[in-house]
Amino acid sequence: MISDLVEILADKKILILGFGKEGISSYQLLRKYIPVSQISIADQREKLDIDFDIDPGVKLYLGSLYLEKLDEFDLIIKAPGVPKKILQNRVDQEKIISQTDLFLRIFSDQIIGVTGTKGKSTTSSLIKHILSAFSKNVVLVGNIGIPPFELVDQIDEKTWIVFELSSHQLQDVSNSPHIAVLLNLFEEHLDHYDDLNTYHLAKMNIAKFQKETDWLIFNDDDQNIKELLSKHEQKCNTLPYSLLNSFSQGAFLKKDGIIEFMTERQKSVFDVRKRGFLPGDHNLMNIMAAICVCKIIGLTDATITEAINNFKGLRHRLEYLGQFNGIHFYNDSIATIPEATIGAIKTLENVDTLILGGKDRGIDYQNLFDYLPVSSVNNIIFTGDAGKRIKQGLLNTRKLQEQKLFFIHDFNELPEIIKENTSAGSICLLSPAASSYDMFRNFEERGDVFKKIAENL
């Protein structure tokens, strides 16, 4: 299978566009399997993390002119973080490829692709966890933080590949996975796309190129998904799942913690009431999606149930940090949209102090303005431009009761406000409903800083 990849890339003049983690893995694969080739790298940064003095076969295009020579190349391997719209009218779009599309082109029949605005990492990790109880020949790659090229040497024709797919990765593809999971569609990434519809269509690429033998598993409760599916014909088999409806074919909630999976040939029941690290309705949806995948593959009900109940969850996703100074702390730094924040508050129930805000990407916060005044939250701490807008929006609603509002310029201001205002035995929750890129490198760094603050109280 490596030979198929080498055949596509050999004897080409290649540019790696964007040299983050995925770009580095592209360089390493090219150097390993096509060692004599000339490789060019373009990145908007003036200095890269790797010193290329030892590799004279590399040519660099850095800084403000990094897009100037695009037409000189046969193939451009674009990183997901490079917006496709900035390349329009600059280069023949047929030259642009990505790791994701190359990987799908070669391994699509073995790939379980998972996408959605929220829940991708949890669902992908859960599917990998369940499959690992069935087979050791399983890998997890993609937006979870593992570029697919990093693990290509571990893959043979019998490997199951769980691939977490962001909209940025899907925007460039011309192939779809054998099993596609579409979790939900909310308003997100408006700084990257021309409009919300363009973002949704990028997500829809996970199923656009599927064949009749492929499967699409989708959230039947999500109206945005149902609208998209109604406009785009699916050639593949489909399996819905729902908290609200039951099906003759699909997964649904029978009662609290009891999930049924139905097809024409079988009926399965899964008791997941003992799950310890997947709280809330949103995680029940993720569980149902994972069940559908694993039943298609042929796992037993007992294997699936046991694996779900012993899954440990992921960091920064409603992660319980512990009790410090009499206060329970939860890190939900991954929550970058208001729907995720509302879901976290509803799941935990006893949230007294909430931390909101970050980079403002123009998201509509009206549902937060409607929900927070009637929620259990008594103290709201705002930060960043998004925090300023959310705070003003709440004040404009005139619906606030006796909630206390605070604005901070730095997370170092958090401890005093939390200690003085959060009731003993209640919860302090970081669930920002905004991106972290104004103050932090990513949501992981934001969550780690919050964890240290909690531990130091």
Quick one: which of 67, 58, 66, 24 has its CA closest to 40?
A: 58
> Strands, DSSP E only, in 63-204?
75-78, 96-97, 111-115, 138-142, 160-164, 179-182
Predicted confidence (pLDDT) at residue 367 exceeds the cutoff of 70: yes
DSSP state string for 298-339: T--HHHHHHHHHT----TTSSEEEEEETTEEEEE-TT--SHH
What is the per-residue pLDDT across 47-73, written as a single tens digit (0 to 9) for each? 988 888 778 889 999 999 899 999 999
Asked if residue 334 lies in contact with residue 360, where contact means CB atoms within 8 angstroms, the answer is no
Specify the pLDDT at position 192: 65
3-state secondary structure of 410: coil
What is the per-residue pLDDT across 83-126, written as a single tens digit (0 to 9) for each? 888 888 889 989 999 999 999 999 999 999 999 999 999 999 99
Given pLDDT bands bounded at 50, 70 and 90, which one contains residue 227? very high
Sketch the domain layout of the chain as residue ranges.
2-97, 100-309, 319-455
What is the per-residue pLDDT across 257-283, written as a single tens digit (0 to 9) for each? 999 999 988 899 999 999 989 999 999
Look up residue 203 and give its amino acid.
K
Predicted confidence (pLDDT) at residue 416 exceeds the cutoff of 90: yes
Specify the pLDDT at position 214: 98
**What strand order describes the sheet that includes 111-115?**
138-142, 160-164, 111-115, 179-182, 215-219, 237-242, 250-255, 258-262, 267-271
Return the percentage of the chain with pLDDT > 90, whole number. 79
Specify the pLDDT at position 42: 96
What is the per-residue pLDDT across 157-205, written as a single tens digit (0 to 9) for each? 999 999 999 999 998 899 999 999 999 998 765 566 667 888 889 999 9
Distance (Å, whole) CA 130 – CA 403:
43
Look up residue 48 and give its amino acid.
L
Look up residue 299 and give its amino acid.
L
Say if 100-309 and 319-455 have the same CATH topology: no
Distance (Å, whole) CA 296 – CA 178:
11
Token pair in block for residue 275: 């799950």
Specify the pLDDT at position 256: 87
Specify the pLDDT at position 197: 84
Specify the pLDDT at position 380: 98
What is the per-residue pLDDT across 427-436, written as a single tens digit (0 to 9) for each? 999 999 999 9
Quick one: which of 61, 35, 30 has its CA closest to 48?
A: 61
Please name every residue paired with 359 in a beta bridge, in sequence order, or none if there are none: 435
Specify the pLDDT at position 215: 98
H or E element in which residue 62 lies: strand 58-62
Q: How many CB atoms lie within 10 A of CB 426?
A: 19
Pairing of strands 215-219, 58-62: unpaired
Low-confidence winner among 158-162, 310-314, 390-394 (lowest mean pLDDT) = 310-314
Mean pLDDT of all residues belonging to the chain? 93
Please tell me the CATH superfamily of domain 2-97, with its number.
NAD(P)-binding Rossmann-like Domain (3.40.50.720)
Please tell me the CATH superfamily of domain 100-309, with its number.
Mur-like, catalytic domain (3.40.1190.10)
Specify the pLDDT at position 189: 58
Q: Is 66 exposed, middle or buried (0-12, 13-18, 19+ CB in 10 A)?
A: buried
- Fold adopted by 319-455: Protein-Tyrosine Phosphatase; Chain A (3.90.190)
Residues sharing a CB contact under 8 Å with residue 122, sequence separation 6 or more, in sequence order: 278, 283, 286, 313, 314, 317
Predicted confidence (pLDDT) at residue 317 exceeds the cutoff of 60: yes
Predicted confidence (pLDDT) at residue 313 exceeds the cutoff of 90: no
3-state secondary structure 234-301: CCCEEEEEECCCCCCCEEEEEECCEEEEECCCCEEEEECCCCCCCCCHHHHHHHHHHHHHHHHHCCCH
Tell me the mean pLDDT in the region 226-249.
Answer: 94
Distance of CA 153 to the CA centre of its chain: 24
Q: Is 92 exposed, middle or buried (0-12, 13-18, 19+ CB in 10 A)?
A: exposed
Tell me the mean pLDDT in the region 136-147.
Answer: 94
Asked if residue 429 lies in contact with residue 353, where contact means CB atoms within 8 angstroms, the answer is yes
> Strands, DSSP E only, in 338-378?
351-357
Quick one: which of 336, 228, 241, 352 has its CA closest to 296?
A: 241
